[in-house]
Amino acid sequence: MTSRVEFQQQVTSVEPTPSRGLGRHFGLSGRLFLLTVAFVALIEVLIYVPTVSNYRRMWLSDRIAAAQVAALVLDAAPDQQVSEGLSQRLLAGAGARAIAVRGNGARRLLSIEMVPDTVSEIIDLREDHWIASIRGIARTLLAETPHPIRVIGHGRDGFDLVEILMDPGPFREAVADFAIRLALSSLAIAAAVAGLIFLVLQRAIVRPVGRLVRNITDFAENPEAIDGVIVPSRRTDEIGQAEIALARMETALAGELREKRRLAGLGLSVSKINHELRNLLTTAQLLSDRLDGVTDPVVQRVAPRLVATLDRAIRFCEETLAYGRTSERKPNRRTIPLAALFSEQADLAGRGRDSKIAIHEICPGDLKIFVDPDQFSRALANIVRNAVQALSPSANGAEASVRDNPAITIEAKRVGAAGSGETTILVADNGPGLPARAREHLFSPFKGSSRSGGTGLGLAIAFELVELNGGRLTLDETACGTCFRITIPDAAGG
């Protein structure tokens, strides 16, 4: 269980060191936007380059097709000769300086000027694959040369192939113009897609995560505040599940911290009360010493037990003050007669003078037990006192037939061989029994009480004292009433 101060110290101790990278300047929202833009840009690049390459190829294919038409006109002309004016129009339509076709074993050339011997690049559309096309884009856009380009393509209608000789300038301008227009449209699409994706992710992920972070931060500042617990949304995804889990954790932690604060205040109050009670008991002990001079037989019989009880109460007060600082003292275990502890339970049970509750003690006279006598007597007295309270007329749910003859039985017996066995002590009553609510937290302080106004400390203290002495305290299942079982092992080698 963690206090509020300890909780805040733990939160502070695990705060991460601010990173020195990109995350130092951008939050989750900014980094998400940059990643979205980067991924969309990557996808656009993967689409952009093949698109430009395909446009380049289609542009050249259109020129080859126009040259094919010019070749058909040339082939249909008488003596395969055309006028200079028609030749210029055919070459201008194909965007070429010269057109050459091959078919039926013959080669034909359409040109109005001397064909140059040097070309800057040869582009063969018959074998042009995508890697060569991508490389060709770089040569087309970056390489500037005065020499023409030779383009070769498939022929049809009786032609095996078609070649054209063209200037690189118009070709470069067309490809560059398309690349620029495609880049601008791609950037616009990428910005629109990135913005849309960002808005969707911002609403679906970033804002809910930010809400979780803000709630955790606020809860760390004041973990005991009731209104600090996050209210889960209606989401059914992982974020919704995280909100539900966080709400459960904060509710449980806030409850634990509030309970510990109350227990701390209670412990301080008990320590103050216990300090004053010890002083009063010390005074009572001094006054009880005067009973030694009284000759009344009843006083002589009761006085030693009264003095012993006051001594035990003073030691208990001192141990309680020590418990508030550390824990219950280490038991001083030794072998003692059990019958002596049984005989004093009637006086320690807290019965009224007119009480009808009978206490029956069943213990062999030679039975000995290996315990701390003071601690074990306190544990046994707490259990018997609980039984007396359950049988009292004010106990809730007690039956009238039981109240007519209420009884508590304390029985001890040995089990096993001496030195390796154990002693079993049963404390049973014929009361109404324990309700299910009390059984769930039977040995937990402030939770195991079955009566109104009870604290549940008696059984919790008894459980701790029995465990300190190496034993076990359990509840037996009975048809009626309540029966507690204490098991104490023998001393090792005893």
DSSP string for 410-422: EEEEEESSTTT-E
Return all residues near 408 (Cβ < 8 A) that are at least 6 apart.
349, 357, 358, 359, 360, 384, 387, 388, 391, 427, 428, 429
Confidence of residue 473 (pLDDT cuts 50, 70, 90): very high
> Do residues 330 and 311 touch, judged by C-beta distance below 8 A?
no
pLDDT at 24 over 60: no
Q: Which has the closest alpha carbon to 57: 180, 187, 174, 182?
A: 174
pLDDT at 476 over 80: yes
Token pair, residue 245, equals 């889990």
pLDDT given at position 138: 74
Residue appearing with tokens 């320690």: 348
pLDDT digits (tens, 9 = 90+) for 2-12: 455 554 555 45
DSSP per-residue codes, 433-451: ---HHHHHTTTSTTT---S
pLDDT digits (tens, 9 = 90+) for 162-190: 888 888 888 888 888 988 988 888 888 87
State the average pLDDT for the chain.
76
- The three-class DSSP label of residue 287 is helix
- DSSP element (H, E) containing 370: strand 368-371
pLDDT at 383 over 70: yes
Q: What is the pLDDT averaged over residues 106-133?
A: 75
pLDDT at 470 over 70: yes
Lowest mean per-residue pLDDT among 1-5, 263-267, 302-306, 418-422: 1-5
23: DSSP letter: G
Q: Measure CA of the first residue to CA of the last residue in the chain; give whole Å.
A: 40
Helices marked H in 151-237 — which ranges? 168-201, 207-221
Confidence of residue 410 (pLDDT cuts 50, 70, 90): very high
Helices marked H in 204-337 — which ranges? 207-221, 238-288, 297-325
- Distance, in Å, from the CA atom of 208 to the CA atom of 317, rounded to the nearest integer, reads 55
* Tally of helices (H runs) and strands (E runs) in the chain: 14, 12
Question: For the whole model, what pTM was predicted?
Answer: 0.42
Token pair, residue 288, equals 């009880």
Token pair, residue 457, equals 């400390």
pLDDT given at position 484: 93
Confidence of residue 78 (pLDDT cuts 50, 70, 90): low
Q: What is the pLDDT averaged over residues 144-158?
A: 79
Q: Measuring CA to CA, how many Å separate 202 from each of 27, 36, 198?
A: 12, 11, 6
Instruction: Give phi and psi for 164, each to the nearest 5.
Output: -130, 150
- Residue 53: CA count within 13 A, CB half-sphere: 17
Instruction: Give phi and psi for 283, each to the nearest 5.
Output: -65, -40
> Do residues 126 and 152 touch, judged by C-beta distance below 8 A?
yes
Q: Measuring CA to CA, how many Å separate 71 from each of 63, 93, 94, 356, 373?
A: 12, 12, 10, 132, 124
Percentage of the residues of the chain whose pLDDT score is greater than 70: 75
pLDDT digits (tens, 9 = 90+) for 327-339: 567 888 898 999 8
Confidence of residue 128 (pLDDT cuts 50, 70, 90): low
> Do residues 91 and 110 touch, judged by C-beta distance below 8 A?
yes
- The three-class DSSP label of residue 237 is coil
Written as one letter, the residue type at 392 is S
pLDDT given at position 397: 47
Lowest mean per-residue pLDDT among 17-26, 120-129, 241-250: 17-26
Return all residues near 181 (Cβ < 8 A) that are at least 6 apart.
none
pLDDT digits (tens, 9 = 90+) for 194-219: 788 878 888 888 888 888 888 888 88
pLDDT at 424 over 90: yes
Out of 43-52, 239-248, 287-296, give the one with best mean pLDDT: 239-248
pLDDT given at position 399: 46
pLDDT at 462 over 50: yes
Q: Give 283 or 142, the one with higher predicted confidence.
A: 142
Percentage of the residues of the chain whose pLDDT score is greater than 90: 6
Q: Which has the closest alpha carbon to 89: 109, 65, 70?
A: 70
pLDDT digits (tens, 9 = 90+) for 384-409: 888 888 887 765 444 444 456 888 99
pLDDT given at position 486: 94
CA angle 471, 446, 343 (to 5 degrees): 45
Q: What is the dihedral of CA 282, 287, 289, 292, to 10 degrees?
A: -160
- Residue 424: CA count within 13 A, CB half-sphere: 13
Lowest mean per-residue pLDDT among 35-39, 153-157, 275-279: 275-279
Confidence of residue 320 (pLDDT cuts 50, 70, 90): low
Sign of CA dihedral 390, 393, 394, 395: positive
- Distance, in Å, from the CA atom of 284 to the CA atom of 276, rounded to the nearest integer, reads 13
- Distance, in Å, from the CA atom of 472 to the CA atom of 424, rounded to the nearest integer, reads 10
Confidence of residue 411 (pLDDT cuts 50, 70, 90): very high
Q: Which has the closest alpha carbon to 355: 387, 386, 393, 390?
A: 393
pLDDT given at position 1: 44
- Distance, in Å, from the CA atom of 99 to the CA atom of 111, rounded to the nearest integer, reads 7
